């Protein structure tokens, strides 16, 4: 709060009461923005590094819930998963950023015509879009253990978007604290198993595809 970076972002510009209050408000906004930027950077960078650990966590969770485990993760598989995690994280992050830009631009244009409506669109669509991205990242560890392609994972986001938005909104409360993200991975693994049992997603390591539920 009193670091050189904080003073550089919001320099002192007066000693009057309202100026001090405005400076404190601006510094609080800068603090929140820096924290959000750190989380945005951590998603595509830190999660791929942790991908082998989360893949093992998803494997052990599936074993505990179903009594069977996905294919064993060998050292070459873990190395390959790290690379896949980097590509997956960057792909999902790029889609999230693109969606945020589109939503922000659309809300801005609508806000020029009807300001309350523009603010409402941004307040509703932006959290839902971020929740969908969080669900995609959390589910990917269990799905990748079964060699589920990224294209199939993105298709799942379209067909089950209502359920995954709800899951992501609940998971965001934990994702704000990085040490709690493993709990999101455990819950996402349970959700992946449920989607698989309903025929909404198939494992690519299965010999035949599952019949889809009506």
Give residue-wise pLDDT tens across range 143-180. Answer: 888 878 878 888 888 899 899 999 999 988 887 777 88
pLDDT at res. 85: 66
pLDDT tens digits for range 69-124: 555 666 776 677 667 766 776 777 778 778 888 888 888 888 888 878 888 888 88
The answer, yes or no, to whether residue 211 has pLDDT greater than 90, is: no
The answer, yes or no, to whether residue 47 has pLDDT greater than 80, is: no
In this predicted model, which residue has the larger pLDDT, 212 or 56? 56
Cβ neighbors of 144 (< 8 A, separation 6 or more) are: 55, 81, 84, 85, 88
In this predicted model, which residue has the larger pLDDT, 57 or 72? 57
Ranked by mean pLDDT, the top range of 6-10, 46-50, 80-84, 174-178 is 174-178
Confidence of residue 195 (pLDDT cuts 50, 70, 90): very high
């Amino acid at each position: 709060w009193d670091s050189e970076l904080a003073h550089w972002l919001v320099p002192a510009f007066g000693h009057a009461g309202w100026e001090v209050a405005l400076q404190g408000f601006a510094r609080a906004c800068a603090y929140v923005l820096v924290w959000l930027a750190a989380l945005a950077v951590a998603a595509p960078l830190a999660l791929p590094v942790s991908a082998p650990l989360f893949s093992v966590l998803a494997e052990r969770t599936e074993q505990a819930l179903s009594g069977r485990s996905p294919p064993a993760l060998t050292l070459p598989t873990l190395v390959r998963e790290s690379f896949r995690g980097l590509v997956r994280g960057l792909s999902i992050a790029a889609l999230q950023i693109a969606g945020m830009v589109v939503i922000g631009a659309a809300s801005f244009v609508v806000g020029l015509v009807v300001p309350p409506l523009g603010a409402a669109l941004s307040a509703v669509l932006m959290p839902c879009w971020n929740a969908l991205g969080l669900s995609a990242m959390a589910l990917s560890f269990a799905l990748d253990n079964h060699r589920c392609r990224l294209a199939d994972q993105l298709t799942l986001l379209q067909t089950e978007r209502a359920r995954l938005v709800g899951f992501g909104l609940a998971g965001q409360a934990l994702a704000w604290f990085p040490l709690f993200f493993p709990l999101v991975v455990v819950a996402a693994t349970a959700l992946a198993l449920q989607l698989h049992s309903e025929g909404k997603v198939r494992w690519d390591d299965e010999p035949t595809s599952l019949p889809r539920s009506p």
